[in-house]
Structure 1
Amino acid sequence: MIRGKYFKIYIIEIILVMLFFILAYPFLKVKELNMTSLRESIRQSLDEDLNEGTLEDIRKIYGISKNDINEFLFFKTKNNMNPKEVLVIEFKNETSLNNNKKNIENVLENKKNSFKDYNADAYSLLDKSIFEVKGCNLILIVEEDNKKIEKIINENFR
């Protein structure tokens, strides 16, 4: 009699836990970035002096292999004296992300050091840059209006 009572309680608890995870799944799953709509949204809000970069540019600047990347978005200036850029890379896996994250951090730090005593405005822009990881996506924003670009990126996660 007592055993049957506890058995029913355990079954109810198991059902509640399963129901909790089923209902929480949409909130817990990792969202993917829609690069096509992101590219258009960012292009509309950027200055004219930022041009779309290529995979070859990413390889030359950051040393990232095309074999590590699923999709990317890269806007940069042609002028080396202007550090503005927007870089969003979706890596194939977390290992690729972790291996290349350090390269990007080093390039960013080298840019900061080169502009530190030479161009205070550029250094300030680099110092306020946004550098973050979301899932297998790496995001680097060096812009005057970082928060606006970050908001656009966050809105394009599906």
Structure 2
Amino acid sequence: MRESWGGSFEKFNHSPRIVYNGTTSLKDTVAFCTILEFHLKGPDLNIPSDSVCFWMEVPYGKSVQKWPGYHLGKGDYVIRYIPKKAETLQYRFTSAITAINGLKGNIVVNNLWPGKKHSTDYQLGDNWYTDKGSPDLYDGKIQGGKTILKWRKDILQDWAKRWTWLK
């Protein structure tokens, strides 16, 4: 694919998705933007499948983000979460369901997207692309960042020209 100010890309054929049966620990590492699916066991309750019955709480600074979880039936509870940046993530589950309430874990999130292949990944078609993943193309934590940085002067000059049109 030809380079441009929009970046430089390579084909890929999977979108990362990892299924955990239970909580995770600092031994577990995923790429940012991976779909994490936590399956938890609990009682088989008569809860409609579209009803929130537990929460995943993730502390961010002084606030807490809350993500809803659902009962799939037969005592299988699930939550899907997508980490948005490289970090060591702490979380806990809260619920009126005692088998789930208070469960907690950690997971290491790196910025090497799309990461290792897993059997649970979503398979994609032939026309999917991602920023080039070579480590020498990272700009700090930004994958492929250097593929656009070399165009910075051209982009800024183009914007300056467009701003003069507004005068």
TM-score by structure 1 length?
0.25
What TM-score, normalized to structure 2? 0.24
Q: Which has the larger radius of gyration?
A: 1
**Which structure has the highest helix share of the two?**
1
